[in-house]
Structure 1
Amino acid sequence: MPRLPPVTLYLLWILTGAFVLQLVTGGGNAANSPLVDWLALWPVGSEGFGGGGFLPWQLVTYAALHGNFIHLFFNAFMVWMLGAMLESQWGTRRYIQFVLACVLAAGAVHLLFGLLGVFPAGPALGISGLAYGLLLAYGLMYPNQQLMLVIPPVPIKAKYLVMILAGLALFMGLNSPGGVAHFAHLGGMLGAWLVMRYWRGDPPFGKRRPTLRSVR
C-alpha cells in the first residue's frame, strides 16, 4: 500500500473517530447520538441550541457524522480511492480547497432546497457531497477511463458514470423526499465544478490560466 497523502489520511481518521464517538454516545446507534443534535446540518429556522437547531458551524461539521456503518464505508472508500489520487496530483493546499468547496456547497444546496420545501425538514450528515465531488473531478479529468461497477460488475467510462449518478440524484431528490440528502450530492458536484473552474480561471472567475494543466 502506498502511503496516503496527509489530508486524505486525516479525513479518514476524523470520519472513523467521529463514528466511534457516535456509537459510544448513542448507545450503539450512531443516529441516536447527541452529537447529531450539535453537529449535523439542521434546517435554517429550526429551534434549539445544540438540540436540533441550525448553527453556523454545522455547514462543516455535518460531513464528519454518518448514520450507519454502510454510509461511512462507502464514503470513506471514495475518499481513499479517489481522494488520495487527486490529492497526490494537486497537492495538499489545493486539495483542502477542493474538500471545503464540496462540503460547503453540498450543505448550502441542501439548506436551500429545504427552505424551498422540496423535502421534509430534517438533519443532513455525511461526507457524501465530497464523494460525489471527487467522482465529478475524476470524470472531468479522465472522462474515458474505464471504471468497474460493483453492482452490476460491468465496466463503464467515468464520464457516463458521473452523468448517471447525477441524473439519479436529481430524480431521487425530486421523487423520493426524506431519508437521503440527494440535493447535497448534487451540491458537492457543483462545488467541485466551481472550484476547478476557479483554478483554471474559467468563467465566472475570469480568463483561463493555461498554466494549471493538471486541472482539466
Structure 2
Amino acid sequence: MSMSVLILFFTIGLSLYTLYKNQNLLEKLLLYPNLMFKDKSFYRVLTSGFLHADLNHLIFNMLSFYFFAIPLEGIIGSLAFVLFYLGTIIISSLDSAWKHKNNPLYKSLGASGGIAGVIFCYIVFNPATTILFFFVIPIPGPIFAVAYLLYSSYASKNISDNINHDAHLWGAICGIAFAVAYDPSVITQLYERIMESFS
C-alpha cells in the first residue's frame, strides 16, 4: 500500500474519531496559537492537518487528496512525498499560528494547506492537467493555479469567512517551490504551458 493511501486512511480515521468519539482529543490536536505559544504544544502545527471540522470538510479534502496525492507519489517517490506533505502542513500552519498568537478565539484545523501543496506540486510537474472546479467545471491547471494564488492572497488580507486562506496560499507556494527544487527543468515547461493557456 502506498504512503499516500496510508495517509488518506489515517486522516479519515483520526478525523472521524475526533469528530464523533473524542472531542477532547480534537481540542488537544487542533491549531490553537494562543494556547500553543503558552504551553509549548508546537506539535499542533502538524496534528491540525489531520483533523476536519465536519463530514463535508473531510469528504471534499480527501477526494482532492486522493486524485492528486497518489499520482504525485508516483512521480517523486514515497519518502519524498511523505516529507513534502508533512513539511507543507507545518509550513502552511506557521504563518497563521504566528499571526493569531495573541488571539484567544482563533482555532484552525484541516488538511487544506497540505492538499493545496499536493495539487500545485502536481500541476507544476504536469501543466497539461485540467482541474475540475467544484468537480464539474474544467479549467486548465496553470490558469487554475494563477487564479488560486491571486484569490488566496487577496482573501487572506480582505475576507473574514472562517477559511484559512493563508494556509492555502502557503501550501500552494510550498508545492511550487518543491517541484522546482526537485526538477528545475519544470520551470520552462510550466511557463510554456501558461503562455499557451492564456493565448
Equivalent in the alignment of 1:192: 175
How far, CA to CA, are the matches of 2:36 and 2:82 in structure 1?
30
Gaps of 5+ in 1: 27-32, 201-207
- Quote the offset at 1:44 in angstroms: 4.4
The one-letter amino acid of 1:17's match is G
Q: CA, structure 1 residues 155+15, in 2 after alignment: closer, same or farther (shift >3 Å)?
A: same
How far, CA to CA, are the matches of 1:84 and 1:126 in structure 2?
19
How far, CA to CA, are the matches of 2:143 and 2:104 in structure 1?
31
How far, CA to CA, are the matches of 1:127 and 1:47 in structure 2?
21
Whether 2:127 is the aligned partner of 1:143: answer yes
How far, CA to CA, are the matches of 1:8 and 1:47 in structure 2?
31
TM-score, reference length from structure 1: 0.76
Q: Helix, strand or coil for the counterpart of 1:34?
A: helix
TM-score, reference length from structure 2: 0.81
Gaps of 5+ in 2: 191-199
How far, CA to CA, are the matches of 1:145 and 1:16 in structure 2?
26
Tell me which stretches of 4 or more aligned residues in structure 1 moved more than 4 Å: 44-49
Q: CA, structure 1 residues 47+107, in 2 after alignment: closer, same or farther (shift >3 Å)?
A: closer
Structure 2 matches for 1:43-122, cutoff 5 A?
Answer: 43-44=33-34, 55-115=41-101, 121-122=105-106
Equivalent in the alignment of 1:25: 21
CA contact (8 A) 2:31 2:44 kept: yes
Q: How many correspondences in the alignment?
A: 189
- Quote the offset at 1:121 in angstroms: 4.7
Equivalent in the alignment of 2:115: 131
Equivalent in the alignment of 1:157: 140
CA contact (8 A) 2:92 2:166 kept: yes
Q: Which of 6, 11, 14 matches 2:10?
A: 14
The one-letter amino acid of 1:150's match is F
Q: CA, structure 1 residues 16+145, in 2 after alignment: closer, same or farther (shift >3 Å)?
A: closer
How far, CA to CA, are the matches of 1:154 and 1:16 in structure 2?
26
Q: CA, structure 1 residues 74+43, in 2 after alignment: closer, same or farther (shift >3 Å)?
A: same
Instruction: Give the number of the structure with larger relative contact order, counting CA–CA contacts within 8 Å between residues 6 or more apart.
Output: 2
Cα-to-partner distance string for 1:123-170 (whole Å, 9 max, x where unaligned): 11111011111221122122233333337x432110111111222222
- Quote the offset at 1:186 in angstroms: 0.9
Structure 2 matches for 1:28-39, cutoff 5 A?
Answer: 33-39=23-29
How far, CA to CA, are the matches of 2:86 and 2:15 in structure 1?
20
How far, CA to CA, are the matches of 2:132 and 2:110 in structure 1?
24
How far, CA to CA, are the matches of 1:113 and 1:161 in structure 2?
27
